[in-house]
Amino acid sequence: MIIGLTGSIASGKSTVSAMLRKKGFPIVDADEIARLVVKPGSPVLLEISRQFGVDIIKEDGSLNREKLGGRIFGDAEEREKLNGIIHPAIRQEMLRQKEEWLLRGASTVIMDIPLLFESKLQSFVDKIIVVSVTPEVQKTRLIARNVLSQEEAEARIGSQLPMEVKEQCADAVLSNNGTEEETEKQLENVLMEWQVNP
């Protein structure tokens, strides 16, 4: 079974992904792949610098994420342009990694995709787990984690689909407002119900 794991920014999806990894599940991590496809000298990074200007490349040849992030978070058009460059490369690599795990004999593969719904990747997976938090918890965690102002945090949260929309489209919702132990218990119940093993 291919399980899609998603959530929203600062919902705790990475914590759940780490729990699954610890249980032995193979993980295809879209964020990791997103970093991989823009490594120095990659065709994707060259295209980004052509579209957004060479000043978004640091002196060491790596992508200046802060500078690029500042440009795209408040600007839907710029974000679309960037996604048009990065997303096809990420999708290709995600599918390659998934196939590799299946060839190695994995019976379940977790595809950790933060923007699963926004990128319309539901067809990549059989079931979807959404890690959910209340808007208050989400904003508090994001401000603390990324040292953002109230406005910056709201802009980042606003750039994604509302949590309740994601919950409606999920096969299982993990409420992550409490302790990690409580979240892990919910996760174990879902895995048991779906009868999945690594």
pLDDT of residue 168: 95
What percentage of the chain reaches a pLDDT higher than 70?
Answer: 100
pLDDT of residue 103: 97
pLDDT of residue 153: 87
Q: Would you say 182 and 132 are in contact if contact means Cβ atoms under 8 Å apart? A: no
Adjacent-strand bridge partners of 161: none
Q: Which amino acid is at 150?
A: Q
Quick one: pLDDT band at residue 151, thresholds 50, 70, 90? confident
Dist. CA 95–CA 62, nearest whole Å: 25
Q: In the CATH hierarchy, which fold is given to the domain comprising 1-26+106-198? A: Rossmann fold (3.40.50)
- The top-level CATH class assigned to 33-105 is alpha beta
pLDDT of residue 78: 92
pLDDT of residue 136: 87
Quick one: pLDDT band at residue 15, thresholds 50, 70, 90? very high
> Whole-prediction pTM value?
0.85
Same-fold call for 1-26+106-198 versus 33-105: yes
Dist. CA 17–CA 180, nearest whole Å: 12
Cross-sheet strand order for the sheet of 127-132: 27-29, 109-112, 2-6, 127-132, 172-175
Domain positions in the chain are 1-26+106-198, 33-105
pLDDT of residue 119: 86
